[in-house]
């Protein structure tokens, strides 16, 4: 078992760019209950500085490889109990590196239901097969004539039984199955065909009614779209090599495995069996395998895209601790208003009706002025849903009516994705039991402008709307991945122990929902925590949890200045030694630029705290509790451009990136419909991954390239050269230029009104989901 652990460490080390010793040390910490954020931040000496991304991959792979090892042991035990385990087989099983390779080897020994091959063996036909293979000069029919019986009436029946036995034996040859699987991975095409009569019902999948693309090259977003169409019974999927060239090659591989190089009657019969085995066994088995691999690959890519977008959104710049008026726009039901103070505490709510049917514009303006002046509002957060531009215009007019004072409030359009989910949640009901559900949404909109991270942790990540086909992927894996993103983001920023909500505290390393609730209850009963050490008084919070969470919690203006930093309490003595070496009071040093100039981190290394930790302490003393998030800035929407009908090709606009997918980025330009910047339009060069150029929350300059009003689709470009694509080695649709695969028949023209590069890009991308 020790050797297996070593092999696992070596394999993971290669994958994450580390050493086996680093992997082993990190695995031991994680097995001991340490969290990824804690290990990444406070155990750098132990792991050699592995970051949170490496540690997440390590943790995932460790789980997979341990499951693989457990399955290996189960298989070995099963074969050993059957008395069929040989030294060669044991070595082969020990060398299997994937679950599929392991299962291939187990196939001949796996308990199975009664098969045609079993029946043929019971009827005494296995010797017939051996005779045909041993003496191929003799016609198989001549061999078969000697094996007729009551159960085997004709020569044809005898040969069919021999064929069934050989087909089963071939299908259980791990080396042959492995070679065919690799062949399929290289040569197979994914073909989708519309089910007759489903054309109208599945119109949104029209691009995939007659689609053919290499399995190895199909982008994940297209694979997910085809899989969704198949799930909805709109198309049928085939995964197979080219019928004219690929299938004969696959059959030839099977025939070669049987060494059928001659022209004897036996060789001819065996080649026929090879074709039969492909048609009835291998093609189906490999279809299932490759479809599963395609689904797995597409799911993983979609989860990766969602995770990156979520991270960008969570780590978006906070507007800060300022009194904020949140507006949740609505037409018939009115605009919901909620004012929160600088700490996010709800101060007042109201509903105004400036639009149809009431059209009480003056009353709305008066109420807004009243709320702004009474609460000294600095920011106005406007949800980006229905009537957001109309509400923004109303706010703009209202600000002109304000009495002249200092800097007027700044209006900002904020994504309201997920706000309705929070409003109706049990958490919101507990926080605002007497507040109408619709008004809770306005509170959420205001708070997410102040601090996106603190507010978004209250919403299920899947509801935030930055994913790609997120409802189609493995929901358990998606939830685990997104939970990890939230945990890493929260701990990267740090949490104010005395103001954080329970949902935010729950994401701190070592805590979780129950301890977070216990902390909030203790805070409500006993007041603010005077120090990190006071956390130990919380019921249920023991030394292990304290070790994991303490460094990520902040106490502002407490008795211990280091409590406001990311220095872990376990390293306070080292921090104080550094301070004493300066000959000044700690409060004079913390946050003072250049205060540690002249000191060398190496001089403070101890047996317990190595150079990486000491260097981190230096950085924290110079800039305690530093926030890794960028400076706050927002997009300014163009005046008079409030609806898709206001857009014209050539317009240059400012917008905010709302979502980044594999095929491009979606940008909110203030017309209630995000536009698509296809990957080919992101830069004046070849772009493989849109995340190289943009991330969710970025403010970008775009040019309108095409407008499709009936389908509510907007084409945008960020290129400076004004080209429509193609200069970077892509075709107008943004796909890499390459020879088209051989078509068995002309593809059906796409049933789309979109044209040009934008139309092709949208047919590729389908719709934002």
Q: What is the pLDDT of residues 299-343, one digit of tens each?
A: 888 888 888 888 888 888 888 889 999 999 988 889 999 999 998
Q: What is the DSSP letter of 571?
A: G
Nearest to 483 by CA among 4, 10, 35, 129: 35
Q: What is this structure's pTM?
A: 0.74
**Cα 650 to Cα 641: distance, rounded to the nearest angstrom:** 13
Instruction: Show the low-confidence residues of the chain (pLDDT under 50).
Output: 1-2, 725-769
**Cα 253 to Cα 250: distance, rounded to the nearest angstrom:** 5
Nearest to 662 by CA among 652, 650, 676: 676
pLDDT of res. 701:
92
Nearest to 621 by CA among 640, 597, 638: 597
- The CA-CA-CA angle for residues 684, 685, 689, to 5°, reads 115
Write b or e for each residue in 387-413: b if 16 or more Cβ atoms lie within 10 A of its Cβ, otherwise e. Answer: bbbbbbebbeebbeeeeeeeeebbbbb
Collapsing DSSP states into helix, strand and coil, what is residue 628? coil
Helix extents (H) in 677-753:
none
CB-CB contact of 277 with 170 (8 Å)? yes
Angle between helices 20-31 and 2-16 (to 10 degrees): 110
CA distances (Å), 168 to each of 115, 119, 277, in order? 9, 12, 8
Give me the residues paired with residue 338 across strands.
Answer: 326, 349
**Cα 444 to Cα 416: distance, rounded to the nearest angstrom:** 8
Q: What is the DSSP letter of 200?
A: T
Helix extents (H) in 114-245:
116-122, 126-134, 140-144, 155-171, 174-187, 220-231
Classify residue 173 as exposed, middle or buried by CB count within 10 Å of its CB (0-12, 13-18, 19+).
middle
pLDDT of res. 765:
38
CB-CB contact of 382 with 663 (8 Å)? no
**Cα 486 to Cα 511: distance, rounded to the nearest angstrom:** 14
Collapsing DSSP states into helix, strand and coil, what is residue 498? coil
pLDDT of res. 588:
63
- Please give the domain boundaries of the chain with CATH numbers for all domains: 2-109 (1.10.10.650), 116-307 (1.10.3500.10), 325-450 (3.30.420.140), 644-765 (2.40.50.140)
pLDDT of res. 182:
94
**Cα 709 to Cα 687: distance, rounded to the nearest angstrom:** 28
């Amino acid at each position: 078992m020790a050797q297996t652990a070593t092999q696992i460490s070596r394999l993971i080390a290669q994958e994450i760019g580390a050493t086996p010793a680093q992997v082993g040390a990190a695995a031991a910490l994680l097995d001991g209950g340490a969290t990824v954020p804690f290990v990444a931040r406070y155990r750098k000496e132990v792991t050699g500085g592995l970051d949170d991304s490496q540690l997440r991959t390590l943790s995932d792979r460790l789980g997979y490889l341990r499951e693989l090892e457990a399955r290996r042991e189960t298989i070995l035990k099963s074969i050993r109990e059957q008395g069929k385990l040989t030294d060669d087989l044991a070595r082969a099983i020990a060398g299997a590196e994937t679950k599929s390779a392991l299962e291939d080897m187990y196939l001949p020994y796996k308990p199975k239901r009664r098969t045609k091959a079993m029946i043929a063996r019971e009827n005494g036909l296995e010797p017939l097969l051996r005779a045909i293979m041993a003496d191929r000069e003799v016609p198989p029919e001549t061999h078969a004539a000697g094996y007729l019986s009551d159960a085997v009436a004709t020569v044809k029946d005898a040969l069919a039984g021999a064929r069934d036995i050989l087909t089963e034996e071939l299908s259980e040859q791990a080396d042959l199955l492995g070679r065919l699987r690799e062949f399929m991975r290289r040569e197979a095409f994914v073909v989708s065909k519309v089910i007759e009569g489903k054309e109208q019902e599945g119109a949104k999948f029209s691009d995939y009614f007659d689609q053919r693309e290499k399995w190895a090259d199909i982008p994940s977003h297209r694979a997910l779209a085809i899989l969704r169409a198949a799930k909805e019974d709109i198309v049928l999927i085939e995964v197979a090599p080219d019928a004219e060239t690929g299938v004969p090659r696959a059959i030839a591989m099977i025939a070669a495995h049987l060494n059928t190089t001659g022209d004897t009657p036996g060789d001819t019969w065996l080649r026929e069996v090879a074709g039969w085995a492909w048609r009835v066994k291998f093609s189906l088995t490999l279809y299932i395998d490759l479809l599963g691999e395609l689904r797995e690959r597409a799911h993983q890519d979609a989860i990766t895209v969602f995770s990156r977008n979520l991270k960008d959104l969570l780590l978006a710049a906070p507007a800060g601790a300022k009194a904020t008026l949140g507006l949740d726009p609505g037409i018939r039901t009115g605009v919901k208003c909620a004012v929160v103070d600088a700490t996010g505490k709800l101060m007042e709510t109201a509903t105004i009706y400036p639009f149809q049917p009431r059209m009480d514009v003056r009353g709305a303006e008066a109420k807004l002025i009243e709320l702004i002046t009474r609460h000294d509002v600095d920011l106005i957060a406007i949800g980006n849903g229905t009537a957001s531009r109309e509400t923004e215009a109303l706010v703009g007019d209202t600000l002109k009516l304000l009495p002249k004072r200092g800097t007027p409030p700044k209006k900002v359009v904020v994504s309201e994705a997920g706000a309705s989910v929070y409003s109706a949640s049990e958490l919101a009901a507990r926080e605002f039991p007497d507040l109408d559900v619709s008004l809770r949404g306005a509170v959420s909109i205001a708070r997410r402008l102040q601090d996106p991270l603190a507010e978004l942790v209250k919403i299920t990540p899947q509801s935030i709307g930055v994913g790609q086909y997120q409802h189609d992927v493995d929901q358990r894996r998606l939830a685990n991945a997104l939970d990890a993103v939230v945990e890493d983001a929260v701990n990267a920023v740090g949490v104010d122990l005395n103001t954080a909500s329970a949902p935010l505290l729950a994401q701190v390393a070592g805590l979780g929902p129950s301890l977070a609730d216990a902390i909030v209850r203790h805070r409500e009963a006993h007041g603010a925590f005077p120090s990190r050490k006071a956390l130990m008084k919380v019921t249920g919070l023991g030394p292990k949890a304290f070790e994991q969470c303490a460094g990520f919690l902040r106490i502002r203006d407490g008795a211990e200045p280091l409590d406001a930093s990311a220095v872990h309490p376990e390293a306070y003595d080292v921090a104080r030694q550094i301070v004493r070496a300066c000959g000044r009071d700690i409060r004079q040093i913390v946050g003072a630029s250049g205060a540690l100039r002249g000191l060398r981190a190496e001089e403070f290394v101890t047996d317990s705290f190595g150079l990486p930790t000491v260097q981190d302490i230096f950085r924290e003393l110079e800039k305690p509790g530093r926030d890794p998030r960028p400076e706050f800035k927002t997009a300014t929407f163009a005046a008079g451009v409030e609806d898709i009908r206001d857009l014209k090709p050539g317009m240059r606009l400012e917008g905010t990136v709302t979502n980044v997918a594999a095929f491009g980025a979606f940008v909110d330009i203030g017309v209630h419909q995000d536009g698509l910047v296809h990957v080919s339009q992101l830069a004046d060069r070849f772009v493989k991954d849109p995340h190289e150029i943009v991330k969710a929350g970025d403010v970008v300059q775009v040019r309108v390239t095409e407008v499709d009003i009936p389908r509510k689709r907007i084409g945008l470009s960020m290129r400076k050269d004004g080209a429509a694509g193609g200069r970077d080695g892509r075709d107008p649709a943004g796909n890499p230029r390459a020879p088209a695969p051989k078509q068995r028949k002309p593809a059906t023209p796409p049933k789309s009104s979109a044209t040009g590069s934008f139309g092709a890009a949208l047919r590729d991308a389908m719709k934002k989901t």
